[in-house]
Structure formats: structure tokens, C-alpha cells
Amino acid sequence: MKYSNLGNLIKSEREKRGWEQADLAAMLKRGQQTISRWEKGNSRPRQDDLLKLAKIFSGDEDVWLSIADYQPEAPDISLAPFLPIFNLAPENFELFSRDLVQAIHPTASVHRYGVPGNDQEGIDLYADCPDKKVFDYQCKRHKQFGPADIDEAVKTTTLKAKKHHLLLTRRATADARKAIRKHKNWDLWDLEDVAAEIRRLPQDDALRIVDTYFPGWRKKFLGKDDPSPWLPPEDFFSPLLSKLKIFSHGWSFVGRKKEVESLQDFYKQDHLQAIILSGRGGIGKSRLLREWTCKLPGSTKVVFLSERIEVSPQDYEFLPKGPAYLVIDDVHDRADMLTILSSIARTRPEIKLVLSTRPYGVTRLQDEMAQSGVTFDRDQSINLNDLTIEDAKNLSEEILTAVNGDKNYAQRIAEITKDCPLATVVGSQLVGKGQIKPEVLNNDEEFRQQLMRSFRNIVAGQIGTSNPEAVRDLLNLISLIQPINSLDPHFQQLAEKLLGQKDDHIHRNINALEDAGVLLKRGSKLRIVPDLLADYIRADVSYDEKNNRPTGYADKVFDNSQNELATNLLVNISQLDWRLSSNGVQASLLAEVWANLKEQFRKAKIYERSAILTALEKIAYYQPEQVLEFVRIALEEPTDEIEDQYKQYSFTDPSYRVVTEKIAPVLKYVAYHQDYLHEALELLRS
């Protein structure tokens, strides 16, 4: 019989349990004769009955399907046919459409056509191409958009264009397709057409748009994995190697022989899991790390953690297997180090950690390693000191020669910049190219002041040849709110408002800054490099050194920022304020912001208070006194008010614990300061 093996299996399993055919038939709601035919092999159960049998007899479904000669159904692994553009808010749908059109027409100037209330000539945005052709677009978030709606849209459009487009967030009906064909030079894109347009884009453009407006959809829609936070050394350093850029790691490595050897010896120290590399900004920590990785044997596994990318629990599975190095640069900028260290200690103890930080981050890092169980030796930390004048001179001579400058200036440049190799690299280029006058070398302080100012101004002049001020203003803004996603609608709105520039001009300047190596992309985020340039710009635009007072620019930017950008600004300015205070300068940056934020916190309901405390956790280390005041308000002035949008998701009202559970993580960073430890502990007990 065709199904004799299956019949024998059913009969055997039934008899093991002492059941009659009638008993099994009753369980399956089938006749006894049906069971008899199965056991004789004359026929086989339908697939749903077969799966019930497998369950009744505690069998493996795949085995039973195979014996019955059923082919297991292949899972549907096709990509999502479209993106959920119907979930975008009206404003974001227009911004999404604008970015899509800009990607389709990369050489065009693409603009939104005014705002609601303006005479928009029936359109929402347009593309003005270099060949003088104009394409316009209307964004329609209607659940239904039929022939009458199409006729009305055509009738009310008065702008002259080569082609008109209607963009829908839903599927177009057959009647709508018929209606659009009646109108010459009109096209209808529904959500499936929009999906097809995105898939036709260059991959980088498609990824940027999907990541910006539909986070978490790149795998489902484009079939591309999310970017790994672990980068091989060549990928980590590749954006920084071009000697054509003012800031470059491509020049020769000088000095630091002892420090490189210390990193090489670390591999042999089996009892240690981590080593700290410490040095001030511009001293050459990253350049030392590159030199060390270049000297490692080819079989050595090394990965760098990409800056400012959050690490998910799943990411640790993709670290190199077996003995390996994980390098984390700029640890002082990360608020998630305790989580990372704890995860590595628990799941990958064989990995050795090289942790690079500025000096002010050392104490906190050491405490976090102790808490996480990562083994290290405080006495074996590597502290980078100044280059020798001879080493700095050799570096300066190489650069001056490369840019056809006068090598005679190398000695004086080395004497001024030996404490900052970054300044040696940049200063040598600027002097060699005649962009800083050599006579300035006679005054150490004047040269240092001109160095970063000239760096910023020259970059702005080279990129914004017709409007360098616009590039300077863009760098000023980015320095406060970085890292940025240039396609983030909140950034785009903020930049347009504060810079007074069209979004397409801003994007062109951002792209040019990235090409010049002044903006560095990690994942979808951009930041100014080198860090020392960002530090200089941030201080220059925020604090009036001549009159010893804040400029008010940081307050202005904060008042117009939203969400992550506002948090970034608080972090960046808090670090600057802390550094100025460490140098004896009481800058009181963001004084007005702190006052307004405290008043907002007092008036806030439960979930807004929780969100503010979460943001404050990132800056508690740098602003312990300010943050303590928020904790006092949270404890002494509780509220039971709940935002309306959260009530509908809960059968019972959330308690104030939503707020108080955020206090301990905040106080943890405050307590790193001895002066505030006692009060932090008292508040924790209350």
C-alpha cells in the first residue's frame, strides 16, 4: 500500500495506548472506517488531521509530515511589499515625500511649497531641475481617494510643471487609476508605487530614508541588516586617512614607542581584561590605537565600537568568537558603559578591552569597571603625555613638505604644538599653505587662538565659496546638537528656522562637509571631527570670553530643539560648562534653560517627569548640583497627574513609581563626586 509506513505508525501508537479505532476516531471527530483505511495504508489523513495525530501521539510534526509524504510548507520570506507611510503624521509625510523626491532628482532643488494657510497653488512640494524642468507633488493622506478627488486636485493646481504627481498613503483603486489617465502629464503614486521608487534608489539613499522615517524596517523592507556596532579597524579609520583633508590620520606615526609596546604587552596579561588609554583632546589617542592595530599579527581579531551607536543585547552575539580585542574610543562620551562592560564580563569574558578616554572620564570608568566585574590594573593605565619637540618637528616637516611649505617653520610649530599632535598636523598644513601667516608663530597664544578659528573659517570658505558664513553657522549649530541625523525632520526644521536657509542648501553643505572630512558619519549619525574642533566651536559660540559671560546662543538653540536634539545639547553644553569650571571659569551656561526646565519639571505630569529624568541621567556626572535639584523636586513635590494619551493603555492608573524608579540611575552619576556623595545617599534613602 502507498501509505503503509504511515498506517503501521498510526496503528502502533494507538495500540501502545490500548485504544480502539473508535476511540481514536472520536478524538479526531472522524468515522471508524476512516481510521481503518489509514491504518491499512489505503489513504492518508489530511494535513490538519495528521498534525492532530502527531500532537495526540506526542510525535515530531516534521517526521509525521515526511512519513505521510507531505512536503513541509516553505515559510514566506519575501520582503514587506510597502512601508507603513499611512502611519506618518501629515508633517512627516510631506518631509518624507520631499526627501524621496530629492533622492530621485539629486541635482534638483526640492522644496516644500509654503505652509498650510499660504497660497500653495494646489501643491505641497516641487523639484526645480537644472534643465529648467519642474515637477510638483501633492501629499494626500486620505483613506479613500477616488475619481472626484482626483478631478478636484487637478482643477485646483495652478502651478506650471512638466509633470504633476499625487502621492497617496493608501492603495489606489481601479477607478482612481482610470481617472488619472484622463489628465495629461499627471501621475498617481500609491503606497506600492512609493515602495517601488524607494527600491530603485541607490542603496545608501534608500537606507537613509527608511532608517529616518521607519526605524527598524530596513531588514523587513530592503533586506539589509541593521548596521553592526562592531567595526573592523580598517572601516573605523578609513574616513580619517585621506591626506587631502585638513584632519587626517594618514601622516606618519611619531614617538609613542613605549605606549605601543604597553598595548602589545597587554595581550599577554591573562589576569587583566581591560586597559585604559587616557589623554586630553588632540593628544593622539586615536592615532596611537591605529598604529597599534597595524602592528598586530594578521590573525588577531580586533573590532572597534562605533561611536554613539547604542548596543542592543543581540549585538553581543556578533562579537568575534574566541580571544579578541574590543576597542572603545571616546569612552567619556558614552552613557552606556556600565551596561556594555557588564554584558562583556558576563557573556564574553575572553575578550580584552582597550578603553580610550579623556582624563576627566577615568574615575567614572574605573568605578564602572569595578562594578561590572571587569578586571583591570589602575597602575597599568597608559597616560599619553606631550610629544618630544623632535618628534613633533619630524611630523611637521613631513606635512610642510607635502603641501610645498617651508620646512624651516617646523621647529617653531613643534615647540608650540608638542602638547597636541592634532594642532601640529592642522597647524603645519595651514602655515604651509599660507592660510596662517608665519609671523604669528612668534606668539604662542595667538597661534593657538588662530589655529582652530582658521581651521573653521578655511573649511567654511572652501565649502561655502559663495556664502562661507552659511557654512560657519551650520558648523556652529551642529557643534551644539551633535550627533545629528541630517534626514531627521526635527533637525531639518531646527536648521531651517535658526539658519534661515533652504533645506536643500543645508543638505548640500552637510554633504560637502562630509566629503571634506569635517563631518564623520557613524551609522546614520554625523559629528564634527576632530573633537577638538567641535570643542572649540562649541565654546566660541556659547561663551563670550572677552566679557566673561554666556552668549545666549545655546539657550536660543535649546528653546527651539526637540527630543534627542535637546538632550544632545544639554549633554554637550554640560560637558563644556564642566570643563570651563575645572579651569576656574564660572560660565553658568544654560542658566536660563535650567530655570525654565525646572519650572517645566514642576508642572509636568508623571511620564514627562520620567522622560526628563532619563535625559538628565546623561549629564548628571557633569552637572551634579543642577541635577540634584531635580531629584529634590521629584521627591518633595510628587504628582499623581497622568497624561491623557497614557490612560487609554492601562486598566489601572500608573503610580508615581514611574518617576521614582528613574532617580537611582541619576544619583549614581552624581555620587561619583565626593562633594555630593553624602547628599546622593540621603536622597536615595528617602
CA distance 653 to 262: 57
Categorize the per-residue pLDDT at 482 as very low, low, confident or very high, splitting at 50, 70 and 90: very high
Nearest of 113, 620, 7, 561 to residue 335 by alpha carbon: 620
Q: C-alpha distances in angstroms, 228 versus 293, 297, 460?
A: 20, 24, 33
Q: Please count the other Cβ atoms lying within 10 Å of the Cβ belonging to residue 602.
A: 13
Categorize the per-residue pLDDT at 260 as very low, low, confident or very high, splitting at 50, 70 and 90: very high
Calculate mean pLDDT across residues 492-497.
Answer: 92
651 pLDDT higher than 50: no
- With contact defined as beta carbons under 8 Å apart, do 420 and 384 qualify? no
| pLDDT one-digit tens code per residue, 214-240 | 888 988 999 988 778 899 998 888 888
Phi and psi (nearest 5°) for 41? 80, 10
Calculate mean pLDDT across residues 320-340.
Answer: 90
Nearest of 159, 292, 179, 172 to residue 237 by alpha carbon: 292
186 pLDDT higher than 50: yes
- Stated as kind and residue range, the H or E segment containing 337 is helix 337-347
Categorize the per-residue pLDDT at 119 as very low, low, confident or very high, splitting at 50, 70 and 90: low
CA distance 87 to 279: 47
| Joined grid coordinates for residue 154 | 487637478
- With contact defined as beta carbons under 8 Å apart, do 308 and 525 qualify? yes
335 pLDDT higher than 70: yes
229 or 580, higher pLDDT: 229
- Three-state DSSP at 290 gives helix
Amino acid at 347: T
| Beta bridge pairs of residue 275 | 354
464 pLDDT higher than 80: no
Pairing relationship of beta strands 324-328 and 351-357 according to DSSP bridges: parallel
Mind giving me the DSSP string for 74-130?
PP--PPPSS--GGGS-HHHHHHHHHHHHHHHSTTSEEEE---BTB--TT-SEEEE-T
Calculate mean pLDDT across residues 324-341.
Answer: 91
| pLDDT one-digit tens code per residue, 502-556 | 877 888 888 888 877 788 877 678 888 888 888 889 999 998 888 888 899 999 9
| Beta bridge pairs of residue 304 | 231, 327
- pLDDT value at residue 649: 45
Nearest of 356, 354, 359 to residue 280 by alpha carbon: 359
- pLDDT value at residue 243: 79
Q: C-alpha distances in angstroms, 15 versus 12, 21, 24?
A: 5, 9, 10
CA distance 118 to 128: 20
100 or 436, higher pLDDT: 100
Categorize the per-residue pLDDT at 145 as very low, low, confident or very high, splitting at 50, 70 and 90: very high
Enumerate long-range contacts of 87-91, CB under 8 Å, 24 or more apart: 88/141, 88/169, 88/213, 90/139, 90/141, 91/489
Categorize the per-residue pLDDT at 650 as very low, low, confident or very high, splitting at 50, 70 and 90: very low
Q: Which of 1-10, 437-446, 553-562 has the lowest mean pLDDT?
A: 437-446
Percent of the chain with pLDDT over 90: 46
- Three-state DSSP at 164 gives strand
CA distance 468 to 459: 8
Of 14-28, 158-172, 533-547, 645-659, highest mean pLDDT: 158-172
443 or 94, higher pLDDT: 94
Q: Tell me the pLDDT of the chain averaged across its residues.
A: 88
| Beta bridge pairs of residue 112 | 125
CA distance 297 to 286: 19
| Beta bridge pairs of residue 550 | 543
119 or 453, higher pLDDT: 453
The C-alpha cell 538632550 sits at 567
CA distance 189 to 96: 14
Calculate mean pLDDT across residues 246-268.
Answer: 91
| pLDDT one-digit tens code per residue, 386-405 | 999 999 999 999 999 999 99
Nearest of 86, 95, 205 to residue 494 by alpha carbon: 95
- Stated as kind and residue range, the H or E segment containing 233 is helix 233-237
- pLDDT value at residue 244: 74
Of 386-395, 526-535, 575-584, 654-663, highest mean pLDDT: 386-395
- pLDDT value at residue 556: 92
CA distance 122 to 456: 43
Nearest of 8, 11, 3, 48 to residue 30 by alpha carbon: 48
95 pLDDT higher than 80: yes
- With contact defined as beta carbons under 8 Å apart, do 605 and 653 qualify? no
Q: Which of 21-25, 109-113, 455-459, 494-498 has the lowest mean pLDDT?
A: 455-459
Nearest of 282, 304, 266, 257 to residue 381 by alpha carbon: 266
| Beta bridge pairs of residue 168 | 140
| Joined grid coordinates for residue 635 | 521627591
Amino acid at 676: Y
CA distance 631 to 616: 10
Amino acid at 19: W
- pLDDT value at residue 653: 63
151 pLDDT higher than 90: yes
- pLDDT value at residue 184: 93
Calculate mean pLDDT across residues 449-474.
Answer: 78
| Joined grid coordinates for residue 160 | 506650471
End-to-end CA distance of the chain: 79
Categorize the per-residue pLDDT at 176 as very low, low, confident or very high, splitting at 50, 70 and 90: very high
115 pLDDT higher than 70: no
The C-alpha cell 512627516 sits at 92
Residues counted in the chain: 686
Nearest of 421, 366, 378 to residue 396 by alpha carbon: 421
The C-alpha cell 536622597 sits at 683
